[in-house]
Structure 1
């Protein structure tokens, strides 16, 4: 059967991703996907997309609002743009999107079928069925507005789609994974994200088999007109209807409404492990890299978080906010996007992937060692307080090319500089 990965709450946010960030997200997202496929294969990448915790962390490391519904749209848009020129090489195709782009999914899948030999009509049917199940069979108060279908050359696929509840200002994301999928109408979701909005009519639950069969029998026996007449008779007595059976509990990630990143939003030991790994492995594994002007310890710290996105186990993505400390956020939370650091991260990752494709995986192995070292050190590593870390990042934002939707960050005068503990004091404890 298909796997459930849990659920989460996301506040519904509007706005657009600025071009300067969208272009970077496209490049970084594509090179991270390349690294994952090189290291673990296409099937593993599809499994990652079907994991709501990883998906949210993936968006956060790319500089999007770490907690909001906008991550879904921006990540899928970045992947569609970034992977399109690589589709022949990687064998991954991203279709659909938001609004009118979602309605174009079937025709895009048909075209992909013609190029690759896949059954495009069957894929298009799957796309329509997925959308119908989440809009009709699962009636949870959310109206679908985004549908993205990611398919590999071997026919395996993932669907990520999202609905909104405008009155509650909440969004819910649905993940589908073709691996192990036996039925479209019986517990098919890999994950459903979103806050409980009250009573949910979920006809895909296994316990609803008799209800689904009863509806078909009723339709055959009475026809549409007869059903309408019957409904008009029983509608006044709907208060006596039995309550639905409670849904089974799943791992639940709560994305808070507050926009700022707070200490409670991250697992501090994991953060300190990444910082300590960057300080420990950076000079050894990236000695030549650190001699390049513009690339220094700050870039290696971002690489440590990108490394976890590539190599981390599912249990490590319970705190997506932590990954926003790699490249900040477009709305200055937790700090403005350090564009110089971002660009260097992309350059290092592209160089590592390019040389690995030529059979030289030393740079890609160095990225892997960053993640391994972070996990080893997180039990003992110490560092500055969360507030001191954020303050130092903001104080140096101009130096890092800090930018947000509000513009470039100006230099900060000495009278405003924080006197907190420096990041250079983040070292591994010997206890």
Structure 2
């Protein structure tokens, strides 16, 4: 998961509407708890340092799949969802955007007092990660969001974001405590943002001779121009979701499992029998966010086909489907806590079966028709955008989609 990269994150302003914010927090909690139960806290911390997984998580939550707003909204949702049960989970979320980012040291000290961790060291890590990205890496982006995800054993991930209003882009930086040994030795697991060419980067190995120590870097004048990152990922700037943004074979197998396959053919899924096709589509993509391997997140836009986007791309957020998905996950988690994990296993099987279908799947559906069908039927599922509820179209899509 320790990737490096850059991706376009257009600056988006505004707030997340309450009807989505509350659901994002609930889904964030359900996904987090599922990962903790199945894989443990280290896996969750490590995933937070993966920019593509983070982007996919935001998309599956119903946020605008490509924008800078994913960072703020996902961090905020997870903080609201996790911190009330932090002592139970052994997981803590500190910091946030603007004034909340400046509270990170105080919050870390409070966590340290509860857990016995070294508060001074945690505060130092928080401040140095921010200082590196704001000062040592002079790439034109000013940090305005800093979040610190901390496990009870002291492992941590930092997700922070800077903005460049002149270019209209944001850049997100990811850190993972186990991925580096020195704050000035290429510490990032990833950097997400618009590629603007060569930058001043004091953390690159080539810059060893230009720095004397991280505590003095605000006084230093870096004089080496180095590469921005070893590898990078470009996120497109357009708002709509296009065929080139998606692995159509992966998406097609998900749609096929949800809409075209008799679930009775799969013994592992019998506990989900009776769940509607639209909810199965969402559950399959949520299942992959929980159980997928790193290579599955190279096309984050695909995960917007779980719950759409608040801006209407690729389609309005289907609130009825969202709530059904949440109910299934919550019920599965409650039963798993008392030793009955069958329903969570069934949800896990969704992603496994969809991946198996890919082996022989050849997509031949028109991508625009897939989106058109979702939009035409959005009103059935309580479709909602920031502009209001979806309405029944006068000329509905009559021709059913042929997925095969």
* Alignment TM-score, normalising by the size of structure 2: 0.93
Q: Which residue of 1 aligns with 2:141?
A: 142
Q: 1:242-321 maps to which residues of 2 (within 5 A)?
A: 244-247=225-228, 249-250=230-231, 252-278=232-258, 279-280=260-261, 282-283=263-264, 284=266, 285-287=268-270, 289-291=272-274, 295-321=275-301
Q: CA deviation at 1:378?
A: 1.2
Q: 1:281 to 1:245 in 2, by over 3 A?
A: same
Tell me the secondary structure at the aligned position of residue 276 of structure 1: helix
Q: CA deviation at 1:264?
A: 0.9
| CA deviations over 1:391-420 (Å, ceiling 9, x no partner) | 11111111100011000112223xx11234
Q: 1:412-427 maps to which residues of 2 (within 5 A)?
A: 412-413=393-394, 416-422=395-401, 425-426=402-403
Q: Which residue of 1 aligns with 2:167?
A: 168
Supply the RMSD in Å over aligned alpha carbons.
2.3
Q: 1:385 to 1:344 in 2, by over 3 A?
A: same
Alignment partners' CA distance in 1, 2:285 and 2:179: 31
Q: Which residue of 1 aligns with 2:56?
A: 57
Q: 1:90 to 1:5 in 2, by over 3 A?
A: farther
Q: 1:3-402 maps to which residues of 2 (within 5 A)?
A: 3-213=2-212, 244-247=225-228, 249-250=230-231, 252-278=232-258, 279-280=260-261, 282-283=263-264, 284=266, 285-287=268-270, 289-291=272-274, 295-381=275-361, 382=363, 384-402=365-383
Q: CA deviation at 1:379?
A: 2.9
Q: 1:3 to 1:411 in 2, by over 3 A?
A: closer
* Between 199-208 and 136-145, the greater mean CA deviation after superposition: 199-208
Alignment partners' CA distance in 2, 1:218 and 1:87: 35
Tell me the secondary structure at the aligned position of residue 195 of structure 2: coil
Assess if the C-alpha contact under 8 Å between 1:336 and 1:403 holds in 2.
Answer: yes
Q: CA deviation at 1:248?
A: 5.1
Q: 1:74 to 1:282 in 2, by over 3 A?
A: farther
Assess if the C-alpha contact under 8 Å between 1:59 and 1:71 holds in 2.
Answer: yes
Assess if the C-alpha contact under 8 Å between 1:388 and 1:420 holds in 2.
Answer: no
Tell me the secondary structure at the aligned position of residue 213 of structure 1: coil
Assess if the C-alpha contact under 8 Å between 2:35 and 2:44 holds in 1.
Answer: yes
Alignment partners' CA distance in 2, 1:303 and 1:56: 18
Alignment partners' CA distance in 1, 2:162 and 2:68: 10
Assess if the C-alpha contact under 8 Å between 2:204 and 2:226 holds in 1.
Answer: no
Q: CA deviation at 1:244?
A: 2.3
Assess if the C-alpha contact under 8 Å between 1:398 and 1:411 holds in 2.
Answer: yes
Alignment partners' CA distance in 2, 1:110 and 1:218: 25
Q: CA deviation at 1:178?
A: 0.4
| Rg larger in structure | 1
| CA deviations over 1:131-153 (Å, ceiling 9, x no partner) | 11111111000000000001000
Tell me the secondary structure at the aligned position of residue 8 of structure 1: coil
Aligned length: 400
Alignment partners' CA distance in 2, 1:259 and 1:3: 28
Q: 1:418 to 1:405 in 2, by over 3 A?
A: same
Alignment partners' CA distance in 2, 1:32 and 1:130: 27
| CA deviations over 1:135-193 (Å, ceiling 9, x no partner) | 11110000000000010000100000000010100100000100143111111111111
Q: CA deviation at 1:327?
A: 0.3
Q: 1:401 to 1:286 in 2, by over 3 A?
A: farther
Assess if the C-alpha contact under 8 Å between 1:384 and 1:421 holds in 2.
Answer: no
Tell me the secondary structure at the aligned position of residue 147 of structure 2: strand
Question: Which residues of structure 1 form unaligned runs of 5+?
Answer: 232-240
Assess if the C-alpha contact under 8 Å between 1:307 and 1:367 holds in 2.
Answer: yes
Alignment partners' CA distance in 2, 1:34 and 1:395: 34
Question: Which residues of structure 2 form unaligned runs of 5+?
Answer: none
Alignment partners' CA distance in 2, 1:136 and 1:23: 36
